[in-house]
Amino acid sequence: MQKNLLRDAFARIDIFTSLTIIGPGAEALLAMREGESGEPVPRLLDDDAVAELRAIPGVRYVQPQLSVESFVRFEGRTRRIGIGGAPIEVDFNPRFRDFIAGRHLRAGESDTVIVTERFLTRLRQKVTGNRSRPAGGPFAAGPVRTDDERRREAETLIGQELTLLTLPQKSGETALFGIPLPGEPGQDEEPDRFEKRNFRIVGVLKAADGIDFQPGGNLLAWLPFDEVRRLRDAQGDSLRQLGEMLAGETGYQNAELRVVDLAQVEPVRNELKRRGFNFFSLSNQLEDIQRVFLIVNASLALIGGLALLVASFGISNTMIMSIRERTREIGIMKAIGGADGEIMKIFFVEAGLIGFAGGLLGLFGGWAVDRVANLLANQWVARQAGQAIRQIEFFSIPWYLAAGAILFALVVSLIAAIYPARYAAKIDPIRALRYD
């Protein structure tokens, strides 16, 4: 279970090789300048810091997280959505790995956009004045659709245009949280109030099953990174602009750093601490998880050892009872020339057959429990996520473990048969023939 959960199940959602680098922010920089910071302020997360992070051995890539909220218009509907900045090079980035239709952004394309499957749901969702929580909670499952239906719907988006609405950049005018403000009286023409920019949809990202653990999981559209940077600078909220006026350049709020594999997580973490970067990673919880598994493994080993001890006594007792019931037969075999070794072989073969049969029955029972446990575990995870998820093998019995279990049962039965076999071989044939 430990191997499956840590290597396979967690590797499938690919979260333990990712670290989130956190920038200091304007408030921390101001506190440092004013001498009120009781702790070391983390490194500024700017472009130079990102380049430094990318050069650390064991780092696969570093991607600053940049996102804005803005109003978009699609199919005659206007909604406010989260828009993220997407890199062009995404060879190892799981966020942009699985497209249900279309492709990723390409270098030199400034007027293209990729959206998620949830984008269409958000744009076509009926908006009402009822703000109460919908039935089923925040993870209520939506209508179940086949992969072909989802793919056909996604393909209808390719080539369509998405209109981004922004405030016009006029002297003396600032944006407030990216929300379009009403124009002056008499300004009724929409072109005077908004700037429109059309982006062509070139790809649709497949929605993640269950809860999306990847950074930017709540974003519905992705523009080229530089376009989002310009949009943030032009339409940034007043508090961020005020913070930069007071503290200077604050850099990125955070960045995603991904290492090559789990073995490189600890060296990279140590290097980040040495260089003064502040970071967070779910891999910090690996030690606690491994400690829990160590306790579970020790408990199971103790229970298994006691079970084997009891089983060995049971096998010995069964063999001794068999010897007592066949004492006359043993006496006859020895009387006609049967050697002690041949008598012992007979009981060793019987003990081996008992161990082999017991190992097969135990293996079948373990497989049945394994199937039931996997079914129940996946049903529980699906209920927590509120929708169907891919099947995860939390418990499995590999072939080498199955073969080892049968071999181990055979060895234990043979060891348990040593005393009964020696006892049978030492029986006096004269006394055995008189035994009734």
Q: How confident is residue 244, by pLDDT bands cut at 50, 70 and 90?
A: low
pLDDT tens sequence across 359-401: 898 888 888 888 888 788 777 766 655 555 566 677 777 888 8
List pLDDT tens digits, range 174-218: 444 444 445 444 444 455 577 888 999 999 998 765 444 455 557
Whether the Cβ atoms of residue 393 and residue 2 lie closer than 8 Å to each other:
no
Assign 350 to helix, strand or coil: helix
| Cβ atoms 432, 330 nearer than 8 A | yes
Q: What is residue 216's predicted lDDT score, i.e. its pLDDT?
A: 54
pLDDT at residue 409 above 70? yes
Pick the range with the lowest mean pLDDT from 265-269, 388-392, 408-412: 388-392
* Contact in structure between 163 and 113 (CB atoms under 8 Å): no
Q: Do 68 and 223 meet the contact criterion of CB atoms below 8 Å apart?
A: no
Mean pLDDT of the chain: 76
- pLDDT digit string, tens, across residues 347-360: 888 888 888 888 89
Which of the four pLDDT bands, split at 50, 70 and 90, describes residue 302? confident
Residue at token pair 């369509």: 160
- Residue spans per domain, the chain: 18-125+144-260, 289-434
pLDDT exceeds cutoff 90 at 46: no
Q: Is the model more confident about 27 or about 427?
A: 427
Distance of alpha carbon 124 from alpha carbon 78, whole angstroms: 10
Cβ–Cβ under 8 Å, residues 420 and 334? no
Tens-digit pLDDT profile for residues 66-102:
888 888 999 888 888 889 888 887 776 777 878 889 9
Q: The dihedral of CA 183, 189, 190, 191: what is its sign?
A: negative
The pLDDT of residue 217? 58
Q: How confident is the model at residue 158 (pLDDT cuts 50, 70, 90)?
A: very high
pLDDT bracket for residue 170 (50, 70, 90): low
Instruction: State the number of CA atoms in the 13 A half-sphere of 254 facing the CB.
Output: 15
- The predicted model gives 234-244 an average pLDDT of 65
Amino acid at residue number 35: G
Which of 216, 254, 218 is CA-nearest to residue 44? 254
- The answer to whether 254 and 280 have CB atoms below 8 angstroms apart is no
Q: Which tokens hold the place of 204? A: 């649709």
Bridge partners of residue 86, in order along the sequence: 224
Q: Is 276 helix (H, G, I), strand (E, B) or coil?
A: coil
CA distances (Å), origin 194, targets 73, 74, 77: 12, 15, 16
In the predicted model, what is the mean pLDDT of residues 220-246?
Answer: 76
- Please name the residue ranges forming H helices in 91-146: 117-124
- Cβ-based burial of 224 (10 A; exposed 0-12, middle 13-18, buried ≥19): buried
